Structures are given as C-alpha cells and as structure tokens.
Amino acid sequence: MITSLPPERLARYVARQLENHFPDDDPITPDRVSAAMGPALERVEFCFRHIQNPHFFRDGSAHLDHLFSDQYAQFLCFLANAAWKERGDEPLAKKIFYLNKAMHAVNCVYDTAIPDIWWLIHAVGAVIGKARYSNYLVVRQNCTIGAIRGEYPEIGEGLILSAGAMVVGRCRIGNNVMLGPGCVVMNQDIPDNVLVRASTAVETKPGTGRAFDVHFRRLAA
C-alpha cells in the first residue's frame, strides 16, 4: 500500500493530534500508536483495494492520504478498533474515537464490529452503531445506523446508504440494497435486491447490481 506518510511518521502525526486534543496525564507516544498501526493499515489496504475510486486504488496499489479527510476518518475507525481489539489499549482507543468525532463528526465507537470492506463518503455526521455488519457497506453524510431500546439492525452484503438515510432498531436488511436520500427504515425487514425510497411508507422495487459496481470492485478470493 502507498501511504502519504510512512507508517512511523503517520504514528507521530496521530500521536501529536491526540496530545493536542487531550493533554491529560496519560501521554500518547508514537510508539503506543505504532503498536496498533500494523493491524489497522492491513485492514485499510484490504478495504481500499475493493473501492471503485482511483483515489483509493490505482496502478495495482491501495492509497492512503492522511490529508484526504474521508480516508483519514476511515483509517481512524480501523485504528481505534485495532487499539482496543488487538492491543487491549482502551484509553488509546477512546481518544482515537474522540479525535475522529471531533475532526470529522464521525461517531463510530472503537468496539464496533465494522466490516472489512466499506466506504465512508463525505464523512460528516455519520453515526455507525453496533449493528451486525456485512461487507460492501457505503455510508454517506448524515447517515445513522443505530439501536432502538437496545435492538440493532442486521445488515446484509452490499448496503448502500444515500445521504441522510437511517437504519435503526430491529431490522434485517437483505443483500444488494440501496436506501435513497433521507430514507428511514425503522424496525422493519428489507428483502434482497431492492431500492428503498423515502415516502410515507417504505417503497421497494426490483434492484440491480449497478449501485454495487459503481462503488466496489469484485476480486477473486
């Protein structure tokens, strides 16, 4: 993978941001960030290889630019999760989560089981809760995936959320589903292969693979 900063410099960059935002008695050193960097970058590379956009994958390589805010927000999600899951460093994970929320208005708690292949587009205002996720997820600006009374959605492969779309509560979302702008699905199941539009009631019609193919590249296992 090609990164705009080498991993050791990227670790220093993140550590300085964390220290500037959270100047408490638990200093965040570059070495401490580096301990979570390897697993996070592995996940970034695997994820970005599947994204159908030359800023993420071109000339046979995944690309991570720390000054491309959508990419950096997504990287911080992976980094916070790695700090918590791989290193058991919950204080570091909390600060990375908080940094992402402060910088990008992305609310994705460090212990959320984010999928391996997903794409955060125009990141601001995204709330990514502790649903059961599958790969090929697209989350655009001001989208919410969350709970109602502790019940979270179960999401199939290939969910595309347009701007302002929400999936909340006890929902089962099928494979290859696209939610239109502002569409709210609450405590409702959605079948495979449909486009869901915002209206007074949920409306569905037969879908195709076009939305999937616009966003992702299918790679052989």
pLDDT digits (tens, 9 = 90+) for 18-62: 999 999 999 999 999 999 999 999 999 999 999 999 999 999 999
- Residues 148-195: tens digit of each pLDDT: 999 999 999 999 999 999 999 999 999 999 999 999 999 999 999 999
Q: Residue 140: is its pLDDT beyond 60?
A: yes
Question: Which region holds residue 79: left if phi is over 0, alpha if psi is between -120 and 50, else beta?
Answer: alpha
Q: Which pLDDT band holds residue 218 (cuts at 50, 70, 90)?
A: confident
H-helix or E-strand spanning residue 168: strand 166-168
Going edge to edge, which strands form the sheet with 177-179? 118-120, 137-139, 159-161, 177-179, 194-197, 203-206
Between CA 1 and CA 174 the distance in angstroms is: 32
pLDDT value, residue 202: 65
Going edge to edge, which strands form the sheet with 2-3? 2-3, 61-64, 57-58
Helix (H, G, I), strand (E, B) or coil at 135: coil
- Exposure string (b/e) for 29-58, b if CB count within 10 Å is 16 or more? ebebbbbbbebbbebbbebbbbbebeebbe
Phi, psi of 124 (to 5 degrees): -55, 140
Between CA 66 and CA 41 the distance in angstroms is: 12
- Residues 97-124: tens digit of each pLDDT: 999 999 999 999 999 999 999 999 999 9
pLDDT value, residue 183: 95
> Which residues share a beta bridge with 155?
173
Please tell me the least confidently modeled range out of 78-87, 89-98, 209-218.
209-218
pLDDT value, residue 214: 81
Domains and CATH numbers, the chain: 2-104 (no CATH), 118-215 (2.160.10.10)
pLDDT value, residue 50: 97
Torsion sign across C-alpha atoms 16, 18, 21, 26 = negative
Residue of 57 and 204 predicted with greater confidence: 57
Contact call for residues 141 and 159 (beta carbons, < 8 A): no
pLDDT value, residue 209: 81
Q: Residue 205: is its pLDDT beyond 90?
A: no
Q: Residue 217: is its pLDDT beyond 60?
A: yes
Q: Residue 200: is its pLDDT beyond 60?
A: no
Kindly report whether the global pTM for this prediction surpasses the value 0.85: yes
